[in-house]
Structure 1
Amino acid sequence: MAQSARHEVVVIGGGAAGIATAASMLKRRSGLDIAIVEPSDTHAYQPGWTMVGGGIFEPEVTRRPMAGVMPKGVQWVKAAAASFQPEDNCVTLEDGSTLQYEILIVAPGIRLAWEKIAGLEETLGKNGVTSNYRYDLAPYTWELVRSLKSGRAIFTQPGMPIKCAGAPQKSMYLSCDHWLRAGVLGGMEVEFRNAGGVLFGVQDYVPALMEYVEKYKIALKLGSNLIAVDGTAQAATFETKDGEITREFDMLHVVPPQVAPQFLADSPLAAESGFTDVDQHTLQHVRYPNVFGLGDAGSMPNAKTAAAARKQAPVVAVNALRQLDGKGPTAGYDGYGSCPLTVERGKIVLAEFAYGGKLAPSFPTWLIDGTKAQRLSWMLKADFLPWLYWNGMLKGREWLAGPGGLIAQ
């Protein structure tokens, strides 16, 4: 018989956004009754997978047991959510059991829709087809990069939204840097096929990135969307404004289309996009005031990055606690996102921006000028940010995150 339980706060998702929010709430109010619904045994620092694919990190350093990152005092419900009944303040899990809540926080992440590219799933991890968007495939990226001495390498990017919109390029630049250092770049033909119309969405960072596109002699193909892969023939088919074209490859780094998880998209909580329908500043649901959404599954028009979730978590923590107390939201999220673009081993273009593409640097420009490739930015990405993630963000310590952006109370 299906069980039912009740909690003050139910968090859907034990990824970066869900864990950080629960930890931030407990920092403000210890003893709060919080349940986190998460089926996975492991928690991944996904920004590290680019570095795995570039031969800089070992894959193991990007993963830890889920039990080790759950905030002390929360109840971990090791199950998957199946549906929402917001009118009844209820979540139904896949086993048929239900959770009642006073506050619901929706942070299940985004779904990688590999199946939307014909022939892709059966050839991933072989025939030169790889992706840094999966833990088990990032090492294969590095294996391919090291073994290739000549041939064609194609890097793809689908239409938005995707998590970490810079990741498709990061993989390409790090690969090219290795080939340059190994003295084989001259024998490589590198293409960047991006379904979008621009190299990067915030214009201020494009000049620095274009320097590297030119340095590595990358053929930039915009408006080119991957629709099919034939692994055995090592051929990829793209949709372009001039019709379909097929390109042979020796290496294909694929970024899959990305969509809201189906149980969310099918629910009363979803916006037309399928993502949680929230106010882009307060992160409160537009129809259900005791529901909040953040992270990659939110409908906000920000870049979907771990850094965005780091800024959103304190906002949701403050506003959700106020809602629990029968008060209105006082915290506001400004759309901050960060994308450290690894343009070569040892240098990064540190893109930081808010809603509307407005630059939002965390450091003074005399220290780090994000619009230029810098060594200090690399140290930040390789050393400081992983440490900050595990020891700060997931533990409710709001360094570089809060209470900045809060509306005066």
Structure 2
Amino acid sequence: MRRSPVVSAKYVKLLVVGGGAGGLGAASKFARKLPRGSVAIVEPHEDHYYQPGFTLVGGGLMTLEANRRKQETLIPSNAEWIKNEVVLFTPTQNAVTLNGGEDIIYEYMIVAMGAHLRFDKIKGALEALETPGVCSNYSPFHVEKHYKEVMNFKEGNAIYTFPDAPIKCAGAPQKACYITDSILRKRGVRDKAHLIYATSLKRIFGVDSYIKPLEKVVEEKNIDVRTKRNLIEVDTSSKSATFQILDEDGIATEQTEKIEYSLLHIGPPCSAPKALRKSQFADRTGFMDVDDATLQSKRFPNVFGVGDCMNTPNAKTAASVSPQLKVLDENLSLVMQGKKPYMKYDGYASCPLVVSRHRAILAEFNPDGPLETTPFNQKRPSFWAYWLKRHFMPYLYWNGLIKGFWNGPATMRNFSRLVKSNSE
């Protein structure tokens, strides 16, 4: 029988579970406003990665090292780093249990555990990643392999997949495909390659406004887009990928399609971490069940979520974290004062869709449609959008977002709209 955590536990006022973008950003905000020692971050990993940079690493446009920092250098000075992981949540007692059995009692908690890559949900995928020709930009352990595979590619099918499941950065698989096209053209072997983008969706992208620009990109690049395909198995002995065919409603049919590959880039399904999936916070999908607007747990008012671990309807991107942090800061502060949260997250997310080695479409949106910041045509591939992706956004991440200083582009967007309206 599990002992009562009340008896022998460590106490913290605010416990932050997870040291990714959301966890660090939230901890930084509250470490500045609460007394020293009030905030603790539970995070097991020593390395912190700027994951939006992985697409560029896989395309030979950045190094992995440029996207990595030591976690200890990022922890706010007024916060405590608990280098461990939560294996059990007991919210009825305001407690968590760490790997090893130690309990922590909290007054308030922010769950920022992110989404876990689930290559294990695709038969043979984990083993295949260790073989020639199979890679994924999603994993820091395999992202450098993608560029090597593209540089060594001679001929055949190069397949890029998008899963029938939640996924981090939904644009990443097709971005990798576009960059591969550019590299193969530069190497002079593009005519020997058949590029296939196999997606479980019934269209190329989930936001209507960006579909036509992206369809133009794939037409110009002669990329074979196959919709309603969900990767279910990788067979390294025959170097083949098997896809289940989905119907118009996204329901799996009994039909399958097997395609041989010379190069296979896997966009993995994602899920909430195991401890969260099994907790009282989770919904039926395993993600944290929060109010879409206030980010407060639907069952436990002293608990909030941030980032990819939540069941909010926004796209799971680093850009979505910034406006969430503003809402979280305001609403949790109100709850700490005994007041009701009122600030609402608008569902903003962004995905700079790199379409070549030096151009990008700057997609910004929420579940209702485009939510763009600049007065320029962001749907047109441009160098300035690529420059933002390559140079400005990494700087903003390391110096703004995870330090709790960047609350998203809403103010800039409002100013841009004002300028645009005055010029009309």
Task: Indicate the TM-score class for this superposition, using the shorter chain for normalisation.
Answer: over 0.9
Q: What whole-Å deviation, never above 9, does each CA across 1:345-399 have from its counterpart, x for those lacking one? A: 111011100232x21112222xxx2211111000100000000000111111125
Aligned twin of 1:110 = 115
When structure 1 is superposed on structure 2, of 93-102 and 233-242 the one drifting more is: 233-242
1:31 Cα deviation after fit: 3.6
Q: Distance in 2 between matches of 1:86 and 1:37?
A: 16
Matched, 1:363 2:374: yes
Shift of 1:226: 0.7
| Matching residue of 2:310 | 298
Q: Per-residue displacement from partner, 1:33-90 (whole Å, max 9, x unpaired)?
A: 1110101011110011100110000111111111011111111111110111111111
Instruction: Tell whether the 8 Å contact from 1:362 to 1:400 is kept in structure 2 after alignment.
Output: no
Q: Which residue of 1 aligns with 2:86?
A: 81
Q: Deviations over 1:270-309 (max 9, x none)?
A: 1122111100110011111101011000010000000001
Q: Which of these residues, 277, 288, 294, is aligned with residue 265 of structure 1?
A: 277
8 Å CA contact retained: 2:323, 2:407:
no
Please give the alpha-carbon distance, in whole angstroms, between the structure 2 residues aligned to 1:403 and 1:208: 27
Does 2:402 correspond to 1:394?
A: yes
Residue 63 (1) aligns with residue 68 (2):
yes
Q: Which residue of 2 aligns with 1:276?
A: 288
Rounded Cα–Cα distance in structure 1 between residues aligned with 2:122 and 2:102 = 35
Unmatched runs of 5 consecutive residues or more in structure 2:
247-253, 414-424
Q: How far apart are the structure 1 equivalents of 2:11 and 2:129? A: 42
Corresponding position of 1:7 = 12
Q: 1:72 to 1:403 in 2, by over 3 A?
A: farther
| Change over 3 Å in CA distance of 1:290–1:72 after alignment to 2 | same
Give the letter for the 1:283 counterpart: L
Amino acid in the other structure paired with 1:325? Q
Is the 8 Å Cα contact of residues 190 and 219 (structure 1) preserved in structure 2? yes
In structure 1, the residue matched to 2:255 is 243
User: For the residues of structure 2 that align with 1:76 and 1:403, how far apart are their CA atoms?
Assistant: 33
Q: 1:81 to 1:94 in 2, by over 3 A?
A: same
Supply the AA of the counterpart residue of 2:56. M
Query: Does residue 1:333 correspond to 2:350, yes or no?
Result: no
- Percent of counterpart pairs with the same letter? 38
394-403 or 5-14: bigger deviation: 394-403
Q: Mark the CA change 1:361 to 1:307 in structure 2 (over 3 Å): closer, same or farther.
A: same
Query: How far, CA to CA, are the matches of 1:320 and 1:68 in structure 2?
Result: 26
* Aligned alpha-carbon RMSD (Å): 1.7
Task: Give the deviation of 1:261 after TM superposition.
Answer: 1.0
> CA offset at residue 183 of structure 1?
2.2
User: Which amino acid in 2 is paired with 1:360?
Assistant: L
2:295–2:328: 8 Å Cα contact kept in structure 1? yes
Q: Which amino acid aligns with 1:64?
A: R
Deviations 1:230-263 (A, max 9, x none): 1232111111147112111100000111111111
**Structure 1 residue aligned with 2:160, among 150, 155, 160?**
155
Q: Give distance in 2, aligned partners of 1:379 and 1:195.
A: 30
Alignment pair present for 1:234 and 2:246: no
Q: Distance in 2 between matches of 1:30 and 1:401?
A: 29
Whether the 8 Å CA contact 2:217–2:355 is kept in 1: the answer is: yes
3-state SS, counterpart of residue 394 of structure 2: helix
CA distance in 1, matches of 2:152, 2:163: 26
Distance 1:402 1:291, change over 3 A: farther
Structure 1 residues 214 and 402: alpha-carbon distance in aligned structure 2, compared to 1, 3 A threshold: closer
- Kindly tell me the number of residue pairs found equivalent between the two proteins: 401
Say which is worse superposed, 82-91 or 238-247, in terms of deviation. 238-247
1:101/1:401 Cα in 2 relative to 1: closer, same or farther (>3 Å)? farther
Q: Is the 8 A contact 2:30 2:39 kept in 1?
A: no
Match of 2:44 among 39, 45, 48: 39
C-alpha separation in 2, matches of 1:296 and 1:170: 20
SS at match of 2:108: strand
> Residue 320 of structure 1 corresponds to which residue in structure 2?
332
For the 8 Å contact 2:31–2:38, the answer to whether it is kept is: no
- What is the match of residue 421 of structure 2? none
Inter-partner Cα distance in structure 1 for 2:183 and 2:220? 13
The answer to whether the 8 A contact 1:352-1:359 is kept is yes
Partner secondary structure for residue 244 of structure 1: strand
Q: Which runs of 5+ in 1 are unaligned?
A: none
Displacement after TM superposition at 1:27 (Å): 3.8
Which residue of structure 2 lines up, in the alignment, with residue 126 of structure 1? 131
| CA–CA separation in structure 1 for the residues paired with 2:176 and 2:133 | 15
Q: Does residue 1:254 correspond to 2:255, yes or no? A: no
In the TM superposition, what is the alpha-carbon distance from 1:92 to its structure 2 partner? 1.2
SS at match of 1:23: helix
Structure-2 separation of matches of 1:158 and 1:243: 16
Q: Give the C-alpha shift of residue 28 in structure 1.
A: 4.2
